[in-house]
């Protein structure tokens, strides 16, 4: 369709998209007109400098099933949804504004494994004092980061728990979930765009696609916030 609009060949549009896509992916997340965050380290530093709480969460994007006979075919099967997918980790601030989106990995990669691959533990140990909220998929990071990654509380009683414990547990769980849902909302906004809803193109392009959409989304969020402040 764009080729017809501009009176050019389809290959010209394909080549232009291939050139623009990585440029948008490298653009990073806009948090103010003159500040962009391109890495997890920059996002952690930003949270420390602003004194705000961060939220991380994993999100999956369905992709086409790899061809029969491919060696790593099973790696794309998500253990959560039992579908062929890739997974990315997104980071937001306490208001749900996008700060970071990682490159994608096959769907079989666990959330906590992806966080470790991105060296989140090292960044929190060497960086500013930052509190990051996460869901149960990141449970093991709490001990490794000295409590800086806050995950849902454990059940101390597997069965026959006293009423006082159940009431306290449910209260803490709901309070934690009410914060972490903001990262889920950030991921949901990503999937308002067609490409990250279900990727039907080549899997080697999905990382650039998701990071490009994240950058555009963060720019839109910053523009909306600036406009709201001016009015």
pLDDT in tens, the chain (231 residues): 666 766 777 888 788 888 888 888 898 999 888 889 999 999 999 999 988 889 998 888 888 888 787 777 788 888 777 888 899 999 998 888 899 999 999 989 999 999 999 999 999 988 888 999 888 889 889 889 988 998 887 766 666 666 656 676 677 777 777 777 777 777 777 777 777 777 777 888 889 999 999 998 888 888 877 776 666
Give the predicted TM-score (pTM) of the model.
Answer: 0.81
Q: Are the C-beta atoms of 91 and 44 separated by less than 8 Å?
A: no
Which residues face 36 on adjacent strands?
Answer: 30
Question: Is 47 a member of any domain?
Answer: yes
How many domains would you assign to the chain? 1
Question: Is 75 a member of any domain?
Answer: yes
Q: Are the C-beta atoms of 6 and 18 separated by less than 8 Å?
A: no
Beta-carbon neighbour count of residue 227 at 10 Å?
A: 9
Question: Is 162 a member of any domain?
Answer: no
Cβ-Cβ contacts under 8 Å for 198 (sequence gap 6 or more): 61, 62, 63
Residue 194 has what pLDDT?
76
Residue 37 has what pLDDT?
94
Question: Is 192 a member of any domain?
Answer: yes
- Kindly write down the DSSP assignment for every residue of 28-93, as one continuous string: -EEEETTEEE-SHHHHHHHHHHHT--EEEEEEEEEEPPPPTT-TTGGGGB-TTTSSBEEEEEEEEE
Question: Is 15 a member of any domain?
Answer: no
The residue segments making up the domain with residue 78 are: 25-153+167-230
DSSP run (H or E) holding 100: strand 98-101
Question: Is 2 a member of any domain?
Answer: no
Question: Is 183 a member of any domain?
Answer: yes
């Amino acid at each position: 369709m764009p080729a017809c609009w501009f009176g050019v060949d389809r290959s010209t549009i394909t080549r232009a998209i291939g050139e623009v896509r990585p440029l948008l992916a490298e653009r990073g997340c806009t948090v103010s007109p003159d500040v962009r965050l391109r890495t997890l380290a920059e996002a952690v530093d930003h949270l420390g400098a602003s004194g705000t709480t961060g939220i991380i969460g994993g999100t999956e994007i369905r992709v086409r099933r790899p061809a029969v006979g491919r060696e790593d075919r099973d790696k794309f099967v998500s253990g959560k949804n039992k579908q062929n997918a890739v997974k990315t980790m997104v980071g937001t601030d306490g208001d749900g504004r996008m700060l970071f989106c990682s490159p994608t990995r096959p769907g079989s990669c666990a959330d906590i494994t992806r966080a470790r691959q991105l060296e989140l533990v090292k960044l929190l140990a060497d960086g500013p004092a930052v509190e990051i909220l996460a869901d149960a998929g990141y449970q093991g990071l709490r001990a490794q980061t000295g409590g800086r990654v806050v995950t849902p509380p454990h059940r101390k009683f597997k069965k026959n728990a006293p009423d006082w414990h159940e009431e306290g547990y449910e209260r803490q769980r709901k309070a934690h979930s009410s914060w972490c849902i903001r990262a889920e909302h950030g991921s949901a906004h990503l999937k308002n765009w067609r490409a990250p809803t279900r990727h039907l193109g080549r899997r080697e392009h999905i990382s650039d696609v998701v990071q490009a959409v994240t950058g555009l989304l963060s720019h839109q969020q910053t523009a909306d916030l600036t406009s709201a402040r001016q009015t």
